Amino acid sequence: MENSILAIVVPCFNEEESLPKSNERLLGLLDSMILERQVSNESYILYVDDGSRDRTWQLIAGYCQTDAHVRGLKLAGNVGHQNALMAGLETAREDSDMTISIDADLQDDIHSIPEMVKKYDDGCDIVYGVRRKRTTDTFFKRTTAQMFYKFMSGMGVKSVYNHADFRLMSRRAVNALCQYEERNLFLRGLVPLLGYKTDSVYYDRLERESGESKYPLSKMLSFAIDGVTSFSVKPLRLIFDLGLIFLLISLIILVYVIVALCRGNGVQGWASLMLSIWFVGGCVLICLSIIAAYIGRIYTEGKHRPRYNIEKYMK
């Protein structure tokens, strides 16, 4: 059997600090896999520069020139992790049998890669890298990440627990993924929908060695909202539930008022009146904003703008 061509897709945004080390480690691994004939000699690493403002692209271009196993894709501007990853996958599927996506900081253990390839050889189309434990993450990162997964599953979005974007996909899985044309990309939610044969490999998550996380809390929050609104309409149904609860409360108040009137003592209470007006007003606004979030998605999806523009592809 011919060995399969592996493309390792690495999105990079301002990664000049971690790239040199990551490149060295990834190349070392790829070389040894080629030597052991686990993958074809045509396998390569594809760095996707997501509109970095530092020397990331210069570094990538340098690696492309010195090593035949490195390629670089320069996007015309910053489009975000998910879109950059998609750009890499769409480009790599042209000449690879399988792709593995991994973050530039190599927090995900690259030693799981041979195991992933083995599962591909055994007939899996999708192999998830799943974190066994998160002891090396800061307390804050760990708890927010855990809340993220809980929130998502509470909202009815199916995703693999403790799996980020470290995964192997066969060419036909990537082809299938490319047919999902949505602009609000949430790959972790999309990939399980493909339905192909899947498996997982487990590893311990390492610390980010250099540079800082490009996912501060605010980005993580908007990522969660993106995820929920593009996979689930549960929040819209929750609005209905909330409406029912309010109706019930108002009925109880009505009964209370009628009973009080029948007994001959009128109901007083400026303060409670004001309170309920503000309370209900606030709830209505929140509900409106939930609906607006969906309308916003319809708006961006409806325009069918391209996800990214390619400036340069270096082989």
Q: Annotate each residue in 286-305 with x if it binds Mg ion (CB under 5 A) or - if it does not, as one string.
A: --------------------
Cα distances (angstroms) measured from residue 202 to each of 32, 109, 125, 174, 222? 21, 9, 17, 22, 28
Stretch that binds Mg ion, among 98-106, 192-200, 266-274, 283-291 (CB under 5 A): 98-106
90 binds, among Mg ion, ligand UDP, none (CB under 5 to 8 A by kind): none
Separation of alpha carbons 14 and 22, rounded Å: 14
By C-alpha distance, which of 159, 148, 230, 235 is closest to 194? Answer: 159
Tokens of 63: 């690696």
97: contact with Mg ion by CB under 5 A:
no
Nearer of residues 38 and 83 to ligand UDP, judged by Cβ: 83
Nearer of residues 49 and 105 to Mg ion, judged by Cβ: 105
11 binds, among ligand UDP, Mg ion, none (CB under 5 to 8 A by kind): ligand UDP
Determine which helix (DSSP H) or strand (DSSP E) holds 200, and give its type and residue range.
strand 198-203
Separation of alpha carbons 51 and 73, rounded Å: 10
By three-state DSSP, how is residue 134 classified?
Answer: coil
By C-alpha distance, which of 54, 53, 91 is closest to 72? Answer: 91
Stretch that binds Mg ion, among 27-35, 85-93, 104-112, 128-136 (CB under 5 A): 104-112
Nearer of residues 149 and 215 to ligand UDP, judged by Cβ: 215
Q: Minimum CB separation from ligand UDP for residue 131, in Å? A: 11
By C-alpha distance, which of 177, 195, 196, 197 is closest to 187? Answer: 177
105: contact with ligand UDP by CB under 6 A:
yes
Residue of 107, 162, 198, 229 interacting with Mg ion (CB under 5 A): 107
Q: Minimum CB separation from ligand UDP for residue 51, in Å? A: 8
By three-state DSSP, how is residue 96 classified?
Answer: coil
| Other beta carbons within 10 Å of 265 | 9
Tell which positions 5-34 bind ligand UDP, by CB under 6 A: 11-13, 15
- In single-letter form, the type of residue at position 120 comes to Y
Q: Minimum CB separation from ligand UDP for residue 34, in Å? A: 24
Contacting positions for Mg ion (CB under 5 A): 103, 105, 107
